[in-house]
Amino acid sequence: MRDALLHLYDPAYLQTHPLLACIGAEAGQSTMTRGKRLRQALLDAIEALQPGAAEAAAPYASRAYRILELRYIEGHEVAEILSQVALSKSQYHREHHRALQAVASLLWERWRRPGVPPHPDDRRGTDPDMTRQEVEQLVAAAAPSSAARVDPLESLRSVASLLHPLCARRAVTLDLTLPDRAPAVRGERVALRQLLLMVLAHAIDGADGGTVAVSLHTDQARVRVRVRSPGLARETVIPTTDWLPFLEALHGRLDGPIPAPDGPGGLLDLSFPAADVRTVLVVDNNTDFISLIQRYLAGTGWDAVGVSNVDQALAFARQQCPAAIVLDIVIPGRDGWDLLVDLKTTPATRDIPVIVCSVLAEPEVAATLGAAAYLRKPISQDQLLAALSGLPLPAATAV
């Protein structure tokens, strides 16, 4: 029911919603589409909770109706509702759950068939409000939402590893097609892992010994995870109740299932806004060091691009204007000092912060030539991130 309320103004979604199985042929509605009938039933049930004039004087009497009105009819986010109804988050969740139970009870009494008991005894499903509270506590305990970033490639690989035993039990092949690099997703790592695990487990359950194919794509400012499974071709609605709190916490979107246009199976698309990613140019003739920096920065909001000589670095800096440069000094041919001088005397590149990273101990020389920071090799991830966080950075460039 809550899933239907969240899609109250999506007639295509409601047209195939599982709740329609509960609605009989009702007088006066024969000309309405199935989706419109369901929406009207939900609106009528909410309206039935509106207190009369005599009851409205008591604030608590209208609270359930007001919460449902703001959340589902007007489409406000939880934060906006909290300010309007003057409730704490925990109070809101209790009142919201009570309001949903009231609507469910009204619909159950209206739709239940003769001989069906008045209260369903199936309690196997997860309480969506309890799940939502867990997710909100998880997000609150992590980094601020504006700073939290997670690597979708790492999350997909780790979830695939967790699901290997399930695939073996169901005789299903899990096929991952992933790029070498992808933008970070804004959000909390555990939330993304749990969402991916639930979606992939569902796809595996319905695969019937076939192959579940998972791929990752980037489209403008979004990261898209596409899941293809034989079972998804047979579904018109998927059980998203447990998924929604995680999807909302990641500002994600779910599309499908739809038939695959190029062969058997059905498709499910998850998409998330990519976090703002800043490019770091790493100038070092040691490719192992460049790889190390790329590992250090994976999923942190920084994207490391490596070059091995000064001419390549100067050309990249002029054309791409990276947010920062990590510069080695001992480079064959023209060395790091030459590059630092060129960068700081060229108008197009002089404002790019440079972190000199070398085995040499010459921080004062580097500072007098315009370096923003100096790190002695070998360096740790914490040292690198601390140096980057302290830089006076230009506007972020999404990649």
Contact 243, 180 (CB under 8 A): no
pLDDT in tens, 276-304: 668 899 999 888 899 899 888 876 778 78
- All domains of the chain in start order, with CATH: 2-124 (no CATH), 149-273 (3.30.565.10), 278-389 (3.40.50.2300)
Q: What is the mean pLDDT of the chain?
A: 79
pLDDT surpasses 50 at 121: no
What's the 3-state SS for 326-385?
Answer: EECCCCCCCCHHHHHHHHHHCCCCCCCCEEEEECCCCHHHHHHCCCCEEEECCCCHHHHH
pLDDT surpasses 90 at 256: no
pLDDT of residue 356: 93
pLDDT surpasses 50 at 395: no
Q: How confident is the model at residue 318 (pLDDT cuts 50, 70, 90)?
A: confident
Q: What is the pTM of this model?
A: 0.45
Q: How confident is the model at residue 326 (pLDDT cuts 50, 70, 90)?
A: very high
- In the chain, how many H helices and how many E strands? 16, 12
pLDDT of residue 355: 94
pLDDT of residue 123: 40
pLDDT surpasses 50 at 125: no
Mean per-residue pLDDT, 82-97: 77
* 123 exposure class (CB count in 10 Å sphere: 0-12, 13-18, 19+): exposed
Distance separating alpha carbons of residues 235 and 256, to the nearest angstrom:
9
The DSSP H or E segment spanning 219 is strand 211-219
pLDDT of residue 119: 45
pLDDT in tens, 48-84: 888 765 444 445 557 788 888 888 988 888 888 887 8
Q: Which two tokens stand for residue 171?
A: 């005789």
Q: How confident is the model at residue 129 (pLDDT cuts 50, 70, 90)?
A: low
State the Cα angle at 164 between 158 and 166, rounded to 5°.
Answer: 125
